[in-house]
Structure 1
Amino acid sequence: MDGEQVVISISRDISERERLESLKKNALQQIGHNIEQFATLGDHIRNPLAVIVGLASLEETASSVQILEAAGLIDALVTELDRGWIESENVRAFLRKHYG
């Protein structure tokens, strides 16, 4: 073995790791897209709801009272969506910090 060179090579298949990284990246992007939709959903509901409340407030009939009560329930549901959006945003921030 005098004067002979020995080459040692180590290789590793990283295709599974790359596949998982791609899945993780796609999942984070999808979460971001869903959170953006969450954020705009409240506005898409509240804008026409404001018109309904405004029109129902013009009269004091039994129907307008029922409409205003239902609008209050819808507004409460949208408020819950807002809380979900904030919570989802916190989850996304955590995922970004620790996974991507």
Structure 2
Amino acid sequence: MLNEVKVPDPNDLTKYSKCSFFFSAKFSCPEGEVFDPIGLECGVPKPDDLGRYCSRADEELDPAAMKCVAAKPKEDEPSEEQPEEEAEESPQAGAGLSL
């Protein structure tokens, strides 16, 4: 197809469509591969960049299930279980003033 555009399937990471003018066709990636929405081709998922295959920033690809799941925090990032630092108390406006 001339001037074709490859578009990832929003519901299945292993599929994509090729669109050209008024025509489109669906394709499947080979077994064990997913469609890379950045490179616009099928390939084996890269373990160090699993977030690139999912449309939501808080998800990453689970290679075993071949679907997007909630992203795990990286080792150098604080987890949500750690308490946040308490904000310093600011003096109240007008404190210590008398009329």
TM range (shorter): under 0.3
Q: Which has the higher strand share?
A: 2
Give the structure-2-normalised TM-score: 0.18
Q: Which has the higher helix share?
A: 1
Larger Rg: 1
Which protein has greater RCO, CA pairs closer than 8 Å, 6+ apart? 1
